[in-house]
Homo-oligomer: A and B are copies of this chain.
Amino acid sequence: MSRTKEYVVTKCYNLPGGECFTLESGVGLEELRVAYETYGELNEEKTNAVLICHALSGDAHVAGYAKGDKKPGWWDPMIGPGRAFDTDKYFIICSNVIGGCKGSSGPKSINPATGKHYGLSFPIISMGDIVAAQKKLVESLGIKKLLSVCGGSMGGMQALQWAVDHPDMIVSCIPIATTYKHSAQQIAFDEVGRQAIMADPAWNGGDYYHSEPPSRGLAVARMVGHITYMSNESMDQKFGRILKKEKLGYEFTTEFEVEGYLRYRGDSFVKRFDANSYLYITKAMDYFDIQKDKKLSEAFKGIKMRFLVIAFSSDWLYPPSQSKELVKALKMNGIDVTYCEISSAYGHDSFLLEFDEQTKLIKHFLNRSFKKKAAEK
């Protein structure tokens, strides 16, 4: 395969003029833009489309190389000929979430009414809104039914939101390393990140697109995030108490490897991410609650699709216990669900690192979903 020369190009869906995209809050957006990439080819029957949803800091560039890229997309080992999402068989779509900063409408976009960046005047969005925008994109491609919706972390929340909001539009669902509702601790971590950003004077109420962005606040937010993405065990294995210098310096510089790593991750994040988007997307995650005031099992009433739920043993941000509750609720509805807990030391980040087992599980699951759908005709 000569992929190196086939550069991936990000495309754009725009809401047709005259239409209005109404959000869960009741606010209407007159302009809606969804950046997306596709891989493989849509078959004639349009039955082989799979939507992959990204996590908090991801984007539409899930695989391959865009022109000038040094690294491939964020889940590249999972997408391509013969891979979990086999591009010889399936048509893969990945779009940037609205509220984001990688091409889709978000706080960094220009508000057509004012000609200026939205900033905090961009309306608050929910996971349902993110999914509704994806639905617009999917429909614009002439696809009536997705073979599967898959995602890890916040991507898994989107997959679950698809399942309950548009059950007739998907054949199967693959939520990975995720939860069915944000817990108090998960909200708490997000709130710390938001407070760190808003505490930075450079944030300036969200109005910083013509000045220095709140880099220090965003870096602190990302640092907190990174601790939750790794397990205690993987941090100990990777860094332990290893020093950057030969011995303790008795000063407030970066002394331990783990401090250096966090600062590096924080500093590199601010170069590629918008602080306001961080606020909007974490808010959508905190609002995420499939259960609402019902019993969890009632949320999935009448749903027919197949599920593959994957969790990772050392993930303490979205622990396997939450996936198991989800699986139980699905089973209570007689839904065809496979649950796999992959043993890994990498914590929440496992879904971005453990490719072998995920590949086998997803490959077989998609294969069966595709055959089952063909047989139904």
List chain A positions with a Cβ less than 8 A from chain B: 24-25, 27, 120, 123-124, 181-185, 187-189, 191-192, 194-196, 198-201, 216-217, 219-220, 223-224, 226-227, 230, 232, 235-236, 238-241, 248, 250-252, 255-259, 262-263, 266, 279, 283, 286-287, 289, 316, 319
Contact = CB atoms under 8 A, between A and B. Distances in A.
Given A196-B196, A217-B199, A184 B287 contact: no
B196 A220 contact: yes
Contacts of A256: 184, 187, 191, 286
B25 A241 contact: no
A183 B289 contact: no
Given A187-B241, A199-B216, A256-B187, A223 B192 contact: yes
Given A184-B241, A185-B235, A188-B258, 15 more contacts: A25-B248, A25-B250, A124-B251, A182-B241, A183-B232, A183-B240, A184-B232, A184-B257, A185-B236, A187-B258, A191-B256, A191-B259, A192-B262, A195-B266, A316-B316
Contacts of A240: 183-184
Contacts of A199: 196, 199-200, 216-217, 219-220
A181 B227 CA distance: 18
B195 A223 contact: yes
A289 B325 CA distance: 39
B188 A227 contact: yes
A362 B240 CA distance: 33
Nearest to A288: B241
A23 B303 CA distance: 67
A27, A239, A279 interface centre (most CB from chain B within 10 Å)? A239
A182 to B, nearest CB: 7
A351 to B, nearest CB: 20
Nearest to A347: B185
A80 to B, nearest CB: 34
Nearest to A316: B316
B316 A239 contact: no
A218 to B, nearest CB: 10
A279 B181 CA distance: 35
A242 B75 CA distance: 35
A251 B25 CA distance: 10
A226 B187 CA distance: 13
A210 B223 CA distance: 30
